[in-house]
Every structure is written in structure tokens, then in C-alpha cells.
Structure 1
Amino acid sequence: MLVSDIMKKNLITLGPDSPIYVALELLHKHHIRHIPIVDESNQVIGIVSDRDVRDASPSIFASNQSKDLDNAIKTIMSTPVVAIHPLDFVEEIASIFYEEEFACLPVVQDNKLVGIVTEKDMLQTLIQLTGTHVQGSQIEIKVPDQIGMLPQVTKVVGQRRINITSVLVYPYTSDPKYRVIVFRVQTMNPLPIVNDLKDKGFDVLWPQELEKSNEL
């Protein structure tokens, strides 16, 4: 999945000389948390968050409230800005959010602002990639870390003619010689698939309680 598939394109931006109170009004009006700051060429030169604006706003007990909010937005914007490209892979930019602890990333193409991706966008994408937005069941299989294991497992699942909504593969933490394949399948009764996998010699990690309840 590409950044262009999830980025927001209808952007609210401000120039560096705009007063802080305008940013405050826009954040409230459009229910957003970040505003890219751009120059006259639409190049990103900063980012302002709702927290930046709140920190810059004086206490209700202060006498110079209006004066402080008249200050230029460039006095509180975060700069320099880390930007991403529309053709970057979403899975790769996730590491930027995690490692840098950013709440949003502007999307730039040919040095021009074309979009923005937020933490919420990333979380929604993760839900889609894992298939948890579709009603179904999850099956986890422990397999040797060898070439060809994934098609072997999908062949068994496919024989039941049940739709696979997502497939994830991650390391088996107890032993690096193994991997865990996680399937989301579009059925509320995964027991037939689980039994097929076990009959083929696969080590099913989840669901295990189905086997126990079946024995009772």
C-alpha cells in the first residue's frame, strides 16, 4: 500500500506570518490536530500542532492574551520538517512514526505539499492490513523458517473455499528457526480449517481452545 492511497489531500495550511489565533480557529473549526506551514511556493517549512497552539496560548488569567495570540505562527512551528513521498510504502513509513514519535508527516512531491498522513491514518491502515475490520476468524500456524511454507499453508486453507482477508508473517520469539503465519479468514467457524491443517502436520497455535472444547 502506498502513501498516496491513505494521505489526506484536502489540506488546511497557513503561511509563516499568519497569527496564532488563526491557527487556533482553524484547528477548532475543522476538528484537526496539525496544520502544515508553507511558503508562497507551497513548500513545507514547518508544522504546528494543537498542542503548540495551546502551549502558546496564555492562561485565562493573563492580561495580554490577545497580544500573544497575535504573534506569528512561525514563532511556534516545528522545523525542520521530515516529509514523505506519495510513492513511499505505508509499511515503511510506519517505522518513522514509531522511531521519531511523530503525530503526522507531510507528503511532498516535487518540493510541493500534496498531502498529509496522521497517526490515525496509520492506525486505520493497520486495521485494514490485518483484516480485523472484516468479520471472521484468526488462525495462527507455527512453521519452519523455510522457503515455500506460505503456499503450502494457503493451499490447505484454499481447499475449503473460504476467503482469506489478510496474511501476516512474523518471527516466532521462542525459536528463530520458526515463523508464525497469521491468517484472517472470512468464517466464524474455523474448526474445519484448523483440523485440515493439523491433519497435514502443521502446528496450530491459535485457536487452541477449539480442540479442547471439542474433546469435552
Structure 2
Amino acid sequence: MLVEQIMKTQVITCKPTETIESALRLLNEHHIRHIPIVDDSNQVIGIVSDRDVRDASPSIFHVHQDNDENELQNELRSIMSTPVTTIHPLDFVEEIASIFYEQEIACLPVTKANKLVGIVTEKDMLYTLIQLTGVNVQSSQIELKVINKPGILPEVTAVLGRRKVNITSVLIYPYEPDQRYKILVFRLQTMNPMPIIEDLNSEGYEVLWPNMPGIEK
């Protein structure tokens, strides 16, 4: 899946010379948490978060009203984070997930030819993960421990195919205790996985989940 498939293209932006007060108003009006700061050429030169604005805003315990108003009139260039990590519309969503994790950031502006064209947030990533794993579709989940060898996936899907059940998603990850094995996780569009589990067990596959009572492994 590509970034252009999940990014928001209607992006609220500010110029570096705009005030903290204006950013605070935009954050509240649009219920957003980040505002890219762009120059006159629509190039991203910084980013401001709701936390940046909150930290720069006067405390509710501040007693000097004039000073409070002055602080809100400071330019965004004084609090924006820079440089900004950006991504491209044709980047893979699975790859940019590592950027969110490694850099511990909550949003990524999307640029093309150095121009801002969209934005991807943590919430967008979580929603995409839900779609990729198929948990948003009524289905059953089956986890198998299989030998880590070429061709094992089509072997297993051939068994599933006998029941003509639609596969919503497939995940593969290592079996940490023993690298000779891996875990296959299938989400299947059926509310009764019992016949499929019986088929898998009869073929010698180890079903980890669901652990159905009364079925020999």
C-alpha cells in the first residue's frame, strides 16, 4: 500500500511569521494536533504540534495579562521544530511505519518535488493497520506454527482452499523460540473455523489458535 492511498490532502498550514495565537485557533477549530509550517513556495520548513503551542502559551496561573497577550503574539518560527522528516506519496506505508517508531513522531508531511501535498498521522497509520490485518471485517483468526521453508504458504493455503473460504488477510512473523519455524496468521471470512482447523490438524499442521478442545493435534 502506498502513502498516497492513505494521506490526507487537505492540510492546514501556517507561515513562520504567523502567531502562536493563530495556530492555537486553527488547532482548536479543526481538531488537529499538528500544523506544517510552509514558506511562500509551499515547501515545508517546520512543524508545530499542539504540545508546542501549549508549552508556549501562558499558564492559567500567570497573573500578568499584558505579558500573556504578548506571548501569544510570538511568531511560529520561534517554536516550530526543524528540520522536518518528510515522505513521498509513492513510499510504502509498511516502510514509513518504521519512521514513526524510530523517530517517535506523530505525523509526517508528504512532499512531492519539495512541495507539500499531504500529511499522514499516527491515527492514519493505526487505521491502515486495522485494514491490512482485516480485523474490521467479520472473520475468524487462525494461527499456525509451520516449518520455515520455501513453499510452505501455498501448501497451507491449498488446505484452506478446500473449504472455499475467503482469506481476508495473511501475516507472517518469526517463531522466536526456534528460528526453524514461523507463525502464519490467517483471517478467514467464516464464523465457524472448526472444519478448517480439523483439516489443518489432519495434514499435520500445528494450530496455535484457536486451541479447540476435543481436537487432536
TM range (shorter): over 0.9
* Aligned twin of 2:2: 2
* Aligned twin of 1:23: 23
Q: TM-score, normalised by structure 2?
A: 0.96
* Aligned twin of 1:205: 208
* SS of residue matched to 2:95: helix
Tell me how far apart the structure 2 counterparts of residues 186 and 75 of structure 1 sit (CA, whole Å): 53
Tell me: CA distance 1:214–1:202, structure 2 relative to 1, closer, same or farther (3 Å).
Answer: closer
Question: Cα deviation per residue 1:106-142 (whole Å; 9 max; x = unaligned)?
Answer: 0011000000000000000111111101111100111
- CA RMSD in angstroms comes to 1.0
Deviation at 1:201, TM superposition (A): 1.0
Task: Verify: 1:38 aligned to 2:41, yes or no.
Answer: no
1:74-85 matches, within 5 Å, as 74-85=77-88
Deviation at 1:61, TM superposition (A): 3.1
* SS of residue matched to 1:167: strand
Letter aligned with residue 149 of structure 1: I
Deviation at 1:188, TM superposition (A): 1.1
* Aligned twin of 1:168: 171
* Aligned twin of 1:13: 13
Letter aligned with residue 45 of structure 2: I
Deviation at 1:70, TM superposition (A): 0.3
Deviation at 1:214, TM superposition (A): 6.0
Correspondent of 2:124 among 114, 121, 124: 121
* Aligned twin of 2:54: 54
Letter aligned with residue 157 of structure 2: T
Tell me how far apart the structure 1 counterparts of residues 36 and 100 of structure 2 sit (CA, whole Å): 17
Q: TM-score, normalised by structure 1?
A: 0.96
Tell me how far apart the structure 2 counterparts of residues 65 and 159 of structure 1 sit (CA, whole Å): 71
* Aligned twin of 1:108: 111
4+ residue stretches of structure 1 with deviation over 4 A? none
Q: Is the 8 A contact 2:167 2:189 kept in 1?
A: yes
* Aligned twin of 2:191: 188
Q: Is the 8 A contact 2:85 2:108 kept in 1?
A: yes
Q: Is the 8 A contact 2:198 2:215 kept in 1?
A: no
Paired positions, count: 213
